[in-house]
């Protein structure tokens, strides 16, 4: 008689696998769920929104830690290749800023403010 341990199932093999494979499987399952039941897909979509939000929150901290670790592990006299990294960083930052400005001109937005009459409230001592 064999007893099945929780670690021998397909779910545990999936959890121990590559993160890229897990994301791709989740993406495929999400698309299939959307094809079968749109309301269920919208409800489960909250998990995807939380995952993407968590990635956005972790990415800047991760980059900061990687840069700090690289600086901390630098040996005096060791050749560094920081110029290409700085160039790509500046190029990416400039490209993002240029894209934002370009799209702000292509799709301008207007802000409509309404004038409200100011209400005078009784002073604290007038109660």
| DSSP per residue, 33-74 | HHHH-HHHHHHHHHHHHHHHHHHHHHHHHHHHHHHHHHHHTP
Q: Count the alpha carbons within 13 Å of 125 in the hemisphere toward its beta carbon.
A: 0
pLDDT at position 7 is 55
pLDDT per residue as tens digits for the range 4-35: 555 568 788 878 888 888 888 888 988 999 99
Taking every pair of Cα atoms in the chain, the longest distance, rounded to a whole number of angstroms, is 84
Q: Which of 15-19, 39-43, 46-50, 100-104 has the lowest mean pLDDT?
A: 15-19
What's the predicted TM-score (pTM) here? 0.46
Closest CA to 45 of 26, 59, 58: 26
User: Residue ranges of the domains in the chain?
Assistant: 12-73+80-107
| Residue that is written with structure tokens 């800047």 in the block | 60
């Amino acid at each position: 008689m064999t007893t099945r341990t929780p670690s021998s199932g397909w779910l545990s093999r999936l959890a121990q696998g590559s993160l890229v494979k897990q994301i791709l499987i989740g993406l495929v399952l999400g698309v299939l769920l959307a094809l079968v039941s749109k309301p269920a897909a919208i409800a489960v979509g909250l998990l995807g929104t939380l995952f993407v939000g968590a990635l956005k929150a972790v990415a800047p901290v991760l980059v900061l830690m990687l840069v700090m670790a690289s600086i901390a592990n630098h040996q005096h006299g060791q050749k560094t290749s920081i110029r290409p990294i700085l160039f790509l960083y500046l190029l990416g930052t400039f490209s993002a800023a240029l894209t934002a400005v370009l799209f702000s001109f292509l799709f301008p937005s207007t802000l409509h403010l309404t004038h409200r009459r100011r209400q005078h409230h009784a002073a604290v001592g007038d109660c």
